[in-house]
Amino acid sequence: MKYYNNRTLSFADSYVAEGYTIAGPKENDGIYNGMFDLALDDDMFGQNTFERAERKMFEHAIDGAIAKANLVGRDIDYFVGGDLLNQIVSTSYAARKLHSGFVGLYNACATFVESLIVGSSLLCVGAGNVVCASGSHFSTAERQYRYPLELGVLRSPVTQWTCTGVGATILTKSNDGQLLPRITRGMFGRVVDFGVMDANNMGAAMAPSACDTLVQFFRDTNSTPDDYDAIYTGDLGKLGSSILVDLMDDQGYDVVGKLHDCGASLFRDEQQTYQGGSGAGCSALVFNSYILGMLRGGSWKRVLLAGTGALMSPTTSFQGDSIPGVTHIVEVSVV
- Contact positions toward a second copy, by CB under 8 A? 2, 4, 6-11, 49, 51-52, 74, 77-78, 82, 85-89, 92-93, 95-96, 98-108, 114, 118, 120-122, 124-127, 144, 187-193, 311-316, 319, 321, 324, 326, 328
Q: How far is the CB of 209 from a second copy (least distance, A)?
A: 10
Q: Which is nearer to a second copy, 126 or 252 (CB)?
A: 126
Q: Which is nearer to a second copy, 69 or 230 (CB)?
A: 69
Phi, psi at 277, each rounded to 5°: -85, 170
Decide: helix, strand or coil at residue 326: strand
Q: How far is the CB of 132 from a second copy (least distance, A)?
A: 13
CA dihedral 195, 200, 203, 206 (to 10 degrees): 40
- The DSSP secondary structure of 230-251, one letter per residue, reads EEEEES-HHHHHHHHHHHHHHT
- Rounded to whole angstroms, how far apart are CA atoms 322 and 67? 43
Residues whose CB falls within 8 Å of the CB of residue 300, separated by 6 or more in sequence, listed in order: 229, 230, 291, 294, 334
Q: How far is the CB of 48 from a second copy (least distance, A)?
A: 9
- Rounded to whole angstroms, how far apart are CA atoms 322 and 195? 5
First to last CA, the chain: 34
Q: How far is the CB of 196 from a second copy (least distance, A)?
A: 13
Q: How far is the CB of 93 from a second copy (least distance, A)?
A: 6
Q: Which of 284, 6, 253 is nearest to 162 (CA)?
A: 284
Q: How far is the CB of 51 from a second copy (least distance, A)?
A: 6
Q: Which is nearer to a second copy, 140 or 288 (CB)?
A: 140
Q: Which of 168, 11, 13, 173 is nearest to 77 (CA)?
A: 173
Q: Which is nearer to a second copy, 178 or 319 (CB)?
A: 319
- Rounded to whole angstroms, how far apart are CA atoms 78 and 103? 7
Q: Which is nearer to a second copy, 96 or 176 (CB)?
A: 96
Q: Which of 131, 130, 214, 198 is nearest to 158 (CA)?
A: 198
- Asked whether the beta carbons of 123 and 103 are under 8 A apart, the reply is no
- Rounded to whole angstroms, how far apart are CA atoms 225 and 84? 31
Q: Which is nearer to a second copy, 101 or 293 (CB)?
A: 101
Q: Which is nearer to a second copy, 43 or 114 (CB)?
A: 114
Q: b/e string for 223-244 if b means 16 or more Cβ within 10 A?
A: bebeebebbbbbbbbbbbbbbb
Q: How far is the CB of 96 from a second copy (least distance, A)?
A: 5
β-pairing verdict for 277-278 and 161-162: parallel
Q: How far is the CB of 59 from a second copy (least distance, A)?
A: 12
- Rounded to whole angstroms, how far apart are CA atoms 91 and 73? 16
Q: How far is the CB of 34 from a second copy (least distance, A)?
A: 34
Q: Which is nearer to a second copy, 181 or 189 (CB)?
A: 189
Q: Which is nearer to a second copy, 242 or 333 (CB)?
A: 333
